[in-house]
Structure 1
Amino acid sequence: MTALDQAFVEAALEQLADPYLHRGLVSSGAVKHIDIRGDQVTVTIILGYPAAGIKQSFSQLVTDTLLQLPNIETVRVNFDWQVDVAQVQSEAQRIDGVKNIIAVASGKGGVGKSTTSVNLALALAAEGAKVGILDADIYGPSQQLMLGIADGTRPQQHGVQFMQPISAYGIASMSMAYLVTENTPMVWRGPMASGALVQLLSQTAWGDIDYLIIDMPPGTGDIQLTLAQKVPVTGAVIVTTPQDIALLDAKKGIEMFHKVGVPVLGVVENMAVHTCSQCGHSEHIFGDGGGERIAEEYGVEMMGALPLNLTIRQQTDEGKPSVVAEPDGDIAAIYREIARKMAAQVSLKAMGGAAIFPNIEMTND
């Protein structure tokens, strides 16, 4: 092939957008290598976020696009991802082994924040990431139940001052529920709870983690402020429902993160629509489009909407969240789509928020 043909390959790849960053594959830095040998082309694409769910379809899209070019008979696509450490505004010391910390928060309780947290953690793992989850709701921890961890399970000591996280469905977890009994109320003032959170986070031997999901307690109080000030949080995801009161509190959550310098990655809307299991009629019980409105108002991404579905609640109560209970189901697909969007936003921060123009290595033998 000629040098002009090589330019055609690069130009064709640039016309294909990164699925979640919406930038050309070349200018986004995803294309790492182009190898041309006669009529055979091998392209290496490495995304900055896990994307196992789209690996096959996107590789096929790249293949079909290049096969339309003249003189190309065979295309091979090497598709992979590499999660890097994102830049953070906080000067807090990083947690050993943890690349990125994502806070999942809500302004009020009862909007499905913990359910969203555990399913997003499991969705990231299903996409190919190494994931941990920290239950930061000191007063009302729920992740032990949602992950199906037996009562009485206690973390083992790791070294002198660290605890070994509890593994469930391939993710590492830590919760105050592992340290107390379910009948022990945490009658603590705010500073004590905040100190316990920092201790749980910093004294857990997380190992190598791409994403640590923090399931935040509802509200905008001491624990949230402590997290922002003492933990290098990469970004926050706000969970809401469409109803006006939930949206009002979600706005407060967004404003709080803005004030403490933690970027909001996007909004997830729970209980968006209910479809009757008997007649199939769909109805927006709690309102319509609230998540989209708040995302647009604050200039953040609307990452996805979950239906008001009985199985979501049943599966988490049974200790087997939707992503693992029905991995090929519609609900799991929504969570995995949200997880990819969230991880893509984190990858932007790893690139400094700007497009990276790579040095593409081309060979022509």
Structure 2
Amino acid sequence: MCSPEHTQCKVDILLFYAIVKLFDATMRPATRDGEKLMSTSIHIRVIAAAVAVSTMLAGPAETAATKCPKPADGPLVFSDRAILMRTELAVNPDGTAASYVPGDHGYTYLANGVNLIDNGKKRSCLDNASLCRKKWSEAEAADFGTGSPEFCVFALEAAPHKPGGSRSECEGDRYVVGNGKGRPTLGRKMPAFDGTEVSTYLSTTSLMHTVGDKAVYVDSAAIPGLVVSKNRSGLVGSLAWVRYGDREVFAIVNDTGPRFGEGSVALHQLLRYGEIQPLQPVGPIPLNLRCTKAELDLKAPFLSKPDDGLKDGCRPGYVAKSASDIRAHNGIGGNVVTIILADLKPPMKSKRLVAEELTIDHLRQWVLDAGYSSKKLNDMASCLGKKN
């Protein structure tokens, strides 16, 4: 819908006004023979000028026919460097308050945000999940003090182990927690499934935005965000458009990961339901509360992950045998169309800090103001599958 703050909209309003005036002049009786002709001539010139200005301001993004890129095995790249792809969409909850939680009960596993340092060497926790979980538990029990296992963290914020101390770097721009070299920064408390509150670790994102006068990480539960592969980190901050079925969402690249095809909790919810859903409580779900209505009512991208595996999932007539955690791991299996507008970013204070607060309305406004209407973006998306 046309919004008065759009320059194009203002021109359209002027055009409408001129047409109304022309109609009024045409219908009003003339007192002299030439008066009506003169009035009509003036308003026709006003309409012509408004149409000309309207066409110029619409710009090539609105008026030019979409020229599809040459077919490629990977994403398609347009002449304006916009990147088009069709993928599945995994869930990336990083930036959400409950993403990582002591005891490894957060929306995702700690193995997704840390690497083990074993005798000075990196060991990927994605490849050694059980070992990393055991070692992290030991580090937590020792308050990350001297002698406890060491980790290099990249999705959690690290703080000095003692106030006023320094942080130890690892893997370039990351930091160590454990063995007295650092500790994960605590985030805000979150409601737990059993009605209590739990502590959280402060989860990070590659992009930050300005809220008030503070730089904060992008909340996966509030902002539709996308992940790009690490070798395309220059895309962080780029605005984007995502379509699934008949729903379209304006988004922003807020993090890096192993590949394209991951999105925030908010993006998943907007694509599935058209609105952001209430935040889920944090697990674990104790055995005495298993398979109650609250667990059965969990909606994607959230799901229940029983300690004993899928065989302990809720089903009619079955009595659960283990506790469970609530994870944001229920992604979309395919047919998610994404256009990353590589050269279009919001006002930036620095390479990774947006100068304003990110909101859904701001994301939409920035994209529309750049001339990328829904029609334009859908025309670009239609290039998928074309053989020209």
TM-score by length of 1: 0.28
Question: Which structure: larger Rg?
Answer: 2
Larger RCO: 1 or 2 (CA < 8 Å, sep 6+): 1
TM-score by length of 2: 0.27
